[in-house]
Structure 1
Amino acid sequence: MLIESLTHQGLGRTADGQFVPRTLPGEELGLRDDGSVQILTPSSDRVAPPCRHFKTCGGCAMQHAADPFVAHWKAGIVTRALAAHGIDIDIRGIHTSPPHARRRAKFAGKRTKNGAIVGFHTRASDTVIAVPDCQLLLPSLREAIPALEELTVLSASRKAEIALTVTDSKAGLDVWVESDKPLDGPLRITLAEFAQRHGFARLAWGDEPVVTINAPSQRFGRADVIPPAGAFLQATREGEMQLLAAAVDATKGADRIVDLFSGCGTFALPLAETAMVTAVESSAPMLNALDQGWRRAQGLKRVKTETRDLFRRPLEPDELRYFDAAVIDPPRAGAQAQTATLARSTIPRIAMISCNPVTFARDAKVLVDAGFVIDWIDVVDQFRWSAHVEVAAAFTR
């Protein structure tokens, strides 16, 4: 068997349509007697995986490939998505976050006979494996795994799996537990004592705050923001800085900016250093965190907030006419309805951030057909060694 290409999920594809994980284009494969795949002719782009968990963990797909190959492959995912809509443009830059940079991770926790296991799922499976030497995580997250195992024993029922979203902050770890176990009074006291003992900044259980020992703030420009428990945050600080730099570049010189799908202020607050900003987001708690961060900061221009579901009720052209530029950072589904109103508006500049090249290309086509030009596109690889790709682009009329 010869691997002819890679899918957008990182699977090797043969001429007869078979898909083989952890292979690269040009590699010739054979089958062993037990049915497993043997690489007979390895690619020159093949490297030794840096993580000992790679063969079992489902978190990474591309550790067997050299960094330049992965960067080129991810850029190709973006260019092919755009080409499907008739858009031909070169990628301006590719920015990959370093190892040991993930500041936020969602672990799976499961009780065992002797305690608990905390880690990630194996590929396409519900099986949880321990990842004590994960090469993605910040040391603070990796070193917290024993404490998270103890937390799993306290938080999980005997058979159900729990989710533990852990975020690094200046004040310590911010931990959000998702469990079907009832949070009663005695458990709340036990969890608060546990968080104190392990130096967690905050511990939350679903929608219930358990204890806040130190405010788990995040720095956005000049502002310190305390996001709601489990709120969206860019996966790495390095990736966030690249996306922010792209947004600043695309909106340079604007005096009034609207930040659509603003979250807690990743872009809105730094942009407020030079422009008045209106932040629009469906989550009232996230907007409240943004507003409080703005009010405590020094030297920022006016930031207004509006709670609004932009999928059901996008800003209309008459509302957009007040702005010189827009920043839009939708979830994976893209922003079809909001893009359509942006296309009909008079707004001259748009910074589009996307975590899905397919929906990005679809929405970009709408803007291009409306008279916008794509000035440049950057690829930002926050999710190193995965198939995940993020895009930042500048559109002008």
Structure 2
Amino acid sequence: MPDTLSPIVRIAARGDGVTEDGRHVPLAAPGDLLSESGVLTRGPHHRDPPCRHFPSCGGCQLQQLDDESYSAFVHDRVAGVIAGQGLSAPVRAPILSPPRSRRRATLHAERRGRQVLLGFTEGSSHRLIDLAECHVLLPELFAMLAPLRGLLAAVLTERGRVDVHLARVDQGVDVLIGGKLADGLPAVEGITRFAERHGLARLSVDDGFGAEARWEPEPVTITLGGVAVPFPAGSFLQATADGEAALVAAVREGVGDARLIADLFAGLGTFALALPGKIYAGEAAREPILALKAAAARAGRPVFAEHRDLFRRPLTAAELDRFDAIVIDPPRAGAREQAQQLANAKTSRIVYVSCNPSSFARDAKLLCEGGYRLDWVQPVGQFTWSTHVELAAAFSRPDSLR
């Protein structure tokens, strides 16, 4: 008697395919068929992964999906968690970043005898994948991997393992090596010569006491909202330029014609410098908020930047009521304490930017229970072929509840 075939109907949050009866299947795509004996037959949405390192490399989880099914995954990931909290709102078509557009990444390096491995780790493992190709990084970032292996072969200690942070900034490629390197004048001089020879914007080392620039021929900046902002080594930056543009456009739409806006968890000012009117920017990380403050002052932008821990000291409802609109972009854990204050505020509009749909949905429920309406959600997929999904969502408070 032939096996019964069960179709893969969706992709779960962690990337497994799921059948109608709830069986999870790694590396499946919607439309694949799973037999009772566990044999997977490819369907029309299953494609050959473009990268030789897939599926071992933890940088990607979904290269087996075609564009249509990957877009559906991003959409459904957002729609599912919203529905799971008992909320409803239009979920727009996802905006996806193309391959080879990632402008920041954290890689890892370690010595294996005379060889230095440099790349991402395997999924759920500390084992390194030594990248021979990468279909997500900007080409100029990937081009630095081979030279960096040579540098690290000279300066990495015998049992050392370091993080390598890469970012595309206004001046070129910024490199931050986090970890213990060899001491001594030859190592120090070798790092400087390397950075100069390869035309780096900056090369910094953080051996546990903060990042120290070993090479920085001119101050490193990142342009946000038309303003060149000093870029502290290792700072947060939206993963792709087009992903940033999509989120900025959604935030601008959500705040509308508001003239007094609070930008919470403002970072370097991705949104604060792109918004109209007067802006309050709150951020707990000291270096980014000082960089934003200096850049806004030089550019004559009406931004008041405050160094403030919004987890321990969120803006109160009374403080929030001063603003026409609020933008909030918290870390992955969300912002439960700040969301509780927002739920009690009378501000007309809130735009919530999130890199974690689950924590967003939790906070969105708090806002809706406080009288806000979830108007729309825009999913954004900056991390191509990853299960990592971002979004921007607009909330409004009906006139009768203001």
2:54 aligned partner = 54
User: What is the one-letter code of the residue matched to 1:266?
Assistant: T
Q: 1:185 to 1:286 in 2, by over 3 A?
A: farther
Q: Is the 8 A contact 1:173 1:216 kept in 2?
A: no
Deviation at 1:189, TM superposition (A): 3.3
Q: Which residue is 1:394 aligned to?
A: 394
Query: Residue 204 of structure 1 aligns with which residue?
Result: 204
Q: CA deviation at 1:19?
A: 3.9
Q: Is there any run of 5+ residues in structure 1 with no aligned partner, and where?
A: none
Q: Distance in 1 between matches of 2:98 and 2:223?
A: 20
Which of these residues, 224, 237, 244, is aligned with residue 220 of structure 1?
224
* Percent of paired sites with the same residue: 38
Residues 3-28 of structure 1: CA distance to partner in whole angstroms, max 9, x if unpaired? Answer: 45432011124578664321124433
Question: Where does structure 1 differ by over 6 angstroms across 4 or more consecutive aligned residues?
Answer: none
Would you say 1:275 and 2:277 are equivalent positions?
A: yes
Shift of 1:237: 0.2
Structure 1: how far apart are the matches of 2:164 and 2:36? 39
**Is 1:325–1:348's contact at 8 Å kept on the other side of the alignment?**
yes
Asked if the contact 2:353/2:393 (under 8 Å) is kept, the reply is: yes
The alignment of Structure 1 onto Structure 2 pairs a total of residues equal to: 388
User: What are the residue-to-residue correspondences of 1:38-187 with 2, within 5 Å?
Assistant: 39=40, 41-181=41-181, 187=187
- What is the Cα-based RMSD across aligned positions, in Å? 2.0
Alpha-carbon distance in structure 1 between the residues aligned to 2:88 and 2:22: 27
- Secondary structure at the aligned position of 1:128 is classed as coil
2:265 to 261, 264, 273: 261
**Displacement of 1:109 after TM fit?**
0.9
5 Å-filtered alignment, 1:22-33, equals: 22-29=27-34
Q: Relative to structure 1, is the Cα distance of residues 352 and 211 closer, same or farther in structure 2, using a 3 angstrom cutoff?
A: same
Tell me what 2:400 maps to: none
Q: In the alignment, does 2:323 pair up with 1:319?
A: no
Relative to structure 2, which stretch is displaced further, 147-156 or 176-185? Answer: 176-185
TM-score normalised by the chain length of structure 2: 0.91
Work out whether residues 275 and 301 of structure 1, in 8 Å CA contact, stay in contact via their aligned partners in 2.
Answer: no
- Structure 2 matches for 1:281-320, cutoff 5 A? 281-297=283-299, 300-320=300-320
Please give the TM-score of this superposition, normalised by the length of structure 1.
Answer: 0.92
Question: Structure 1 residue 122: deviation in Å?
Answer: 2.1
Judged with a 3 Å threshold, the aligned counterparts in structure 2 of structure 1 residues 80 and 115 are, in CA distance, closer, same or farther, namely same
SS at match of 1:63: coil
Residue 93 of structure 1 contacts residue 377 of structure 1 at CA under 8 Å; is this kept in 2?
no
Letter matched to residue 231 of structure 1: S
Per-residue CA distance 1:277-329 (angstroms, 9 max, x = gap): 111000111011111221232xx541111111111110011211221111100
Aligned to 2:16: 11
Q: Which amino acid letter does the alignment assign opposite residue 235 of structure 2?
A: A
Match of 1:21 in 2: 26
Return the offset for 1:184.
Answer: 5.6
2:245 matched to which residue of 1? 241
For 2:328, the equivalent position in structure 1 comes to 328
Deviation at 1:73, TM superposition (A): 1.5
Counterpart secondary structure, 1:121? coil
Check conservation: 2:376, 2:394, Cα contact below 8 A. Answer: yes
Residue 129 to residue 322, structure 1, CA distance change in 2 (3 Å): same
Unaligned regions of 5+ residues in structure 2, if any?
A: 398-402
Call closer, same or farther: CA 1:116–1:31 in 2, change over 3 Å. Answer: farther
Measure the CA separation in 2 of the matches of 1:269 and 1:100.
27
Asked if the contact 2:10–2:73 (Cα under 8 Å) also holds between the matched residues in 1, the reply is no
Native 8 Å contact 2:156 2:182 kept in 1:
no
